[in-house]
Structure 1
Amino acid sequence: MYLSWIDYTVFVLLLIFSCGIGIYQGCIRSKQTSTKEFLLANGRMKILPTAMSLLASLTSAASLLGMPVEFYYFGSMLVYCVVPWFIGTYLTMKFFIPKFHYVGNASIYAYLEQRFSLTIRILVTGSFILVTILSMATILYGPSIALSQVTGLNIWLSVGLCGIVCTVYTSIGGMKAVIWTDVIQASIMFIGLTLSIIFGFIDLGGVSKVFEIVNNGNRLQFADIRLDLSIRYTFWSIFIGVIFSSTAQYACIQTQAQRYMCVKDTKTAQRVAWTNYV
């Protein structure tokens, strides 16, 4: 079953708005005359849009498609992620964000050169580029498969279209365009998820019916504290693993950490991190 005209309209408008934001930020509102303006928005971004951009950059379409599957097959232990995420956010806010603003460089890996050597910086930067290329391939390919199934659009055309649109608004509008486009995308994701939950409850007969089905299927799991490495999700694997993974995502990846530099000072950047967590 293909999408309706409403779905196509939303999809096309999203692409048009994304390109339009890039053109507006790069050619009309500002000429992007400096590197700081292009890469860091001159440090003038507000807390809420920056936090929403941080959220959107961490929540890919692959995550939206994959997380429900994880819950369906492996139960609800993943809800414990909120606790280690809090710790990861605190570590980022307390130790990393002040250092980013102290160094004052668009690249967070500049500190590695100051602290260690140019060789270390090049190695870490090269690793980041390689990981980003591989992850972006997955992020683009997975949703493109889903899009091709519901639209009949050729999968490679879908990949190319999304890639071209993102390249256009990023290269023209810089970080301002990226952040404001992320705001639109985050809003659409939030609305879509909310409506999916509401209509899902309605279609299945209400909240109580949903929890009855989930309970009968043994999907409500909140007390697995076994120290068994063969089990996919336990309290300990989630608690320990997500502390490291969330800290790495929030503080050690250029695409995320660069957003902390788009606000005026350290305290504002710390508020961005907390707002993103909430």
Structure 2
Amino acid sequence: MFFWYEYLVLVAMLIFSTLIGLYFGCFGSKQSTTTEYLFGGKNMKFLPIGISITASQFSAITLIGVPSDVYTFGAFYWFVCLCYVPVFFLAAVVFYPVFFKAQVSTAYEYLEKRFDNKARLLGSFLYLLRENITLPLFIYSPALALSTVTGVKVSVIAIAISLICIFYTAIGGLKTVVWTDVLQFVIIMASTVVITWIGVKSTGGFSTVWNTALAGGRLDIFE
């Protein structure tokens, strides 16, 4: 079960995420234009944007499932990570400049400009179909984990967290999404470092962890 300080971190993150949405939605420019709401006014710095894109690659399935997968089947999963390198390179060099030059808000808008409305509708339909299949998993995984450590029903957690995320995203626009991603990324990285440090220390040091993984065949990426 959670200790009091773990509840504090969870509640603080939800509160700060909501406050970020309220700040960008109710103060400053107040997201009064479409450009401000969808594009962040086109004046955001590269660092928060980069961190936000990086954070979008994480999910509860990643944080919970990948360590379990590597522990069970070995380090073959590293090949998945290697595949990201050329994909991100192509996205940054080929696709993003085209989208930026076309000044489109989504890839589906670009499909309409490049082809026709039918192409846009087909792409949008396939995306919505995929999201309706996968999104419940992304919500259920952290809800299940939180339910295990708090005793609160999975359905209650899933609904509560979803409503909070919908609220701050809807009211604050892109700027809120970016800065909440930055906040969550910092918490994820800090938590990962702390958990790794505790795990390595409690098992006798890095060399012990490495030798144990090596002896158990966990580092054989070709198996």
Normalised by the shorter chain, which TM-score bucket? over 0.9
The offset of 1:95, in angstroms, is 1.2
Shift, 1:60, TM fit: 0.7
**Equivalent in the alignment of 1:34:** 33
* Residue identity matched to 1:211: W
Structure 2 residue aligned with 1:89? 88
Instruction: State the match for 2:194 in structure 1.
Output: 195
| Superposition deviation, residue 168 in structure 1 | 0.8
Residue of structure 2 equivalent to 1:216: 215
Structure 1 residues 30 and 133 mapped into 2: Cα distance closer, same or farther (>3 Å)?
A: farther
In the alignment, does 2:140 pair up with 1:135? no
**1:115 correspondence with 2:114:** yes
Unaligned 5+ runs, structure 2: none
Query: C-alpha offsets along residues 85-113 of structure 1, whole Å, 9 cap, x if unaligned?
Result: 22112111221011101210112212211
Corresponding residue of 2:170: 171
Show the counterpart of 1:155.
154
Q: Is residue 43 of structure 1 aligned with residue 55 of structure 2?
A: no
Report the TM-score, using the length of structure 2 for normalisation.
Answer: 0.96
CA distance in 1, matches of 2:162, 2:13: 14
Which residue number corresponds to residue 237 of structure 1? Answer: none
User: Counterpart amino acid of 2:2?
Assistant: L
Residue 88 of structure 1 aligns to which amino acid in structure 2? Answer: V
Q: Amino acid of the residue matched to residue 215 of structure 2?
A: N
Q: Is 1:9 aligned with 2:11?
A: no
Deviations 1:174-210 (A, max 9, x none): 0100100000000000001111111110111111111
> TM-score when scaled to structure 1?
0.77
Partner of residue 68, structure 2: 69
- The Cα of 1:82 is off from its aligned counterpart by 4.2
Find the aligned partners of 1:142 and 1:82 in 2 and give their Cα distance: 21
Deviation at 1:68, TM superposition (A): 0.2
Stretch deviating more after TM superposition (204-213 or 179-188): 204-213
- 2:194 and 2:163 map into 1 onto residues whose CA distance is 29
Opposite residue 160 of structure 1, the aligned amino acid is I
In 1, Cα distance between equivalents of 2:139 and 2:80: 25
CA distance in 1, matches of 2:110, 2:202: 53
- What's the CA shift for 1:131? 1.3
Deviation at 1:35, TM superposition (A): 0.9
Q: Answer with 129-138 or 13-22: which moved more.
A: 129-138
| In 2, Cα distance between equivalents of 1:114 and 1:168 | 31
Secondary structure, counterpart of 1:29 in structure 2: coil
1:102 aligns with 2:62: no
Deviates more, 1:11-20 or 1:124-133: 124-133
Q: In the alignment, what sits opposite 1:207?
A: 206
